[in-house]
Amino acid sequence: MDRRLYDTILRGDVQTFLSILQEEHFEDTAKQTLPQSLNTILHLTARFGHEELASEILKLWPEMVSAENEKLETPLHEACREGRLNIVRLLVESDPMVVYKVNKNNESVLFMACERGKLDVVKQLLEYPWLLMFEMDSSTTCLHAAAWAGHTDIVKELLTARPQLAWQKNLNGSTSLHISCGKGHLDITRELLKLDPDLSSLQDNEGRTPLHLAAIKGRINIIDEILSTSLESAEMRTISGETVLHLGVKNNQYEAVKFLMETLNITKLVNMPDNDGNTILHLATAGKLSTMVIYILKLGVNVNAINRKGYTALDVVECDATNSGVLTILPALQEAGAKRCDQLPPMSQEIQPIQDNYPYTPPLRPKKAPESPTRYQRHRHRRRREKQIELQNEGLRNARNTITVVAVLIATVTFAAGINPPGGFNQTTGKCIRGRQTSFKVFMVCNIVALFLSLGIVIFLVSIIPFRRKSMMKLLMVTHKLMWVSVSFMATAYMASIWTILPHEKGMAGVLVTLIAVGGGCTLVIFMGLGVLLARHWLRKWEWRKRKDKNGSPNSSVSRVEEMRTMKKGSRESTSNSDLDSSDQGGYHLY
């Protein structure tokens, strides 16, 4: 499109437009579209509301009224979106069928006007009754758009013209009431409930009612409006078995939960579990919502209810004690009499059943006899073992970082000693003064070995990232041994440098030998102590494996099912548990 023509369209200058068309080849140029959006000159004219210019264009090219851009939108879409009422009338008079065209997103011109809140345009388009019939076949209707944007007047017009739109659901299964309640539009909510209070009981694809969405967003005024009209939705549950209290607690809507409990007599919902067996106390403790937990405890909730995983609320808190909110929640639960699952008597460890008549809730399983406490002992043992594994993993990561730091320090010290050797340099030749002595040669060899061994350790550690505990152990074993060799060479280089620079007079040699013997003796004591600890660790490890082989024999009490499970898991766990179990008593592991 020519730039001069484009500027003329933006200004709405009819005379200039007509004069441009008199020039040669400009009629073909006027029919061209913009390169990216594919908008014609009529699209632009409708957008900016130049009525006289639009009339001239339609006289010249009447077929342009149905031209579509890249979004499959006609000029009427542009006019409705911007609320250009006169342009809308002009375009519809030119071709009445254009009102039924939809864009690439299946949005009609009425949808555009409702979304932008153009009331005059909506009233004009509602004169075409068949247009609303097409809306009934669409997933997202114009009423959804008006409810989402909060245009109350348009909602009233649409409900008057076509009340059936209120029951229409979008792809998520949400009605206009769902949308208005989630957005917090009180006036629209009142209009829809005035039309039919039963709309509050409709559920979306996840089983949520408008009351549920209001609780999720904490819309107290919407909650009050719905409950004042109908109490039926207060006890309805989602597909996951969540009540309105579950959703309020999960989304930390304290005021909404408090309003529900103080306004309604729904105390039976307090202890009602969802499909996972979680009560609202489980959810509040899992989210570390200290204020919510303290309030729920005042409602007389069952503090020792057990979910499907066998956890009480106290177990949930202790699973993650790193959050600062635990410092407030834990004493409050203990004061209310909360216990861990392994502290409860067997008869009280029955998991909470799911009681509800909600059609989407899975059928109840038949009640079983109370399970023996061995299940909870195994559960407790599993949690303890998971904590031990996590502690060992953290220790291995810390050990890796420590070895890296020590290796860098060794490289730094040996590098400094290499460029500043004992005895100094000859200022004339730049050669080492003590370079011909045997002790100096020993120093240089040991210093160089220590330097490059430490550099190798650093490169090794920063280049390999193990993802398994066993791989990490192997990596640390190799680098640990190399680090000890590097430290030994650095110590030897230090003793050789001392021997090089000290005078070898009578009596001084004995002192020097004594000092070296003391230093070497201290290091030897450390090695011997670590050797004893390592021997003890190996002994415990051997005893653990011996017990494991004995328990895993065909004559043992291990069932075939457990044997199959162990074989299925493979050697990943069996080869790594020996270090963990054999280190349990000492609390440390040597490598």
The residue-averaged pLDDT of 28-34 equals 61
Top mean pLDDT of 127-131, 224-228, 317-321, 377-381 is at 224-228
332 has pLDDT over 80: yes
Indicate the average pLDDT of the chain: 79
Instruction: Work out the average pLDDT over 556-562.
Output: 40
pLDDT for residue 191 is more than 90: yes
Confidence of residue 186 (pLDDT cuts 50, 70, 90): very high
Q: Which long-range contacts (CB under 8 A, 24 or more apart) does 526-530 make?
A: 530/590
Mean pLDDT of 332-356: 68
pLDDT, residue 24, reads 53
Encode pLDDT of 352-407 as tens digits.
Answer: 444 444 444 443 444 444 444 455 455 556 666 666 677 777 777 788 888 888 88
Residue partners of 184: CB distance under 8 A and separation at least 6? 214, 217, 219, 221, 222
The pLDDT tens digits of the residues spanning 197-233 come to 999 999 999 999 999 999 999 999 999 999 988 888 8
Q: What is the pLDDT of residues 406-433, one digit of tens each?
A: 889 998 988 988 888 887 877 777 778 7
Three-state secondary-structure class, residue 108: strand
* Average pLDDT of span 442-466: 86
pLDDT (average), residues 458-469: 77
Confidence of residue 28 (pLDDT cuts 50, 70, 90): low
263, 338 contact by CB (below 8 A): no
pLDDT at residue 498 above 90? Answer: no
Average pLDDT over residues 462-485: 79
pLDDT of residue 364: 41
Find the mean pLDDT for residues 14-24: 75
Rounded to an integer, what distance in angstroms lies between the CA atom of residue 232 and that of residue 494? 85
| 247 pLDDT more than 60 | yes
- Lowest mean pLDDT segment, chosen from 154-168, 261-275, 303-317, 364-378: 364-378
Between 522 and 497, name the one with better pLDDT: 497
Name the burial class of residue 366, with classes exposed (0-12), middle (13-18) and buried (19+) by CB atoms within 10 angstroms of its CB. exposed
Q: Between 444 and 354, whose confidence is greater?
A: 444
Confidence label for 565 from pLDDT (cuts 50, 70 and 90) = very low
Tell me the average pLDDT across 149-155.
Answer: 94
| Residues 432/423, Cβ–Cβ less than 8 Å | yes
pLDDT at 64 over 70: yes
Per-residue confidence (pLDDT) for residue 383, from 0 to 100: 63
Instruction: Compute the half-sphere exposure of residue 112: CA atoms within 13 Å on the CB side of its CA.
Output: 27
Q: Which residue would you say has higher pLDDT here, 412 or 468?
A: 412
What is the arithmetic mean of pLDDT over 535-545? 76
Work out the average pLDDT over 119-126. Answer: 91
Cβ atoms 72, 104 nearer than 8 A? yes
Instruction: Give the residue among 215, 231, 229, 148 at the shortest CA–CA distance from 188.
Output: 148
Percent over 70 (pLDDT), the chain: 77
Q: Is the pLDDT of residue 73 over 70?
A: yes
Q: State how far the Cα of 301 lies from the Cα of 249, in Å rounded to an integer.
A: 14
- Asked if pLDDT for residue 190 goes beyond 90, the answer is yes
Q: How confident is the model at residue 508 (pLDDT cuts 50, 70, 90)?
A: low
Decide if pLDDT at 321 tops 70. Answer: no
User: Domain 237-361 classified CATH 1.25.40.20?
Assistant: yes
> What average pLDDT score do residues 311-326 get?
77
Determine the pLDDT at residue 100.
87
The vertex-343 CA angle with 337 and 345, nearest 5°, equals 95
Nearest to 289 by CA among 260, 257, 249: 249
This prediction has a pTM of 0.58
User: Counting beta carbons within 10 angstroms of the beta carbon of residue 429, is it exposed (0 to 12), middle (13 to 18) or buried (19 or more)?
Assistant: exposed
More confident residue, 361 or 34: 34
Per residue, the 3-state secondary structure of 58-106, as one string, reads: HHHCHHHHHCCCCCCCCHHHHHHHHCCHHHHHHHHHHCHHHHHCECCCC
**What's the pLDDT score for residue 145?**
92
Check if the beta carbon of residue 210 is closer than 8 Å to that of residue 200. yes
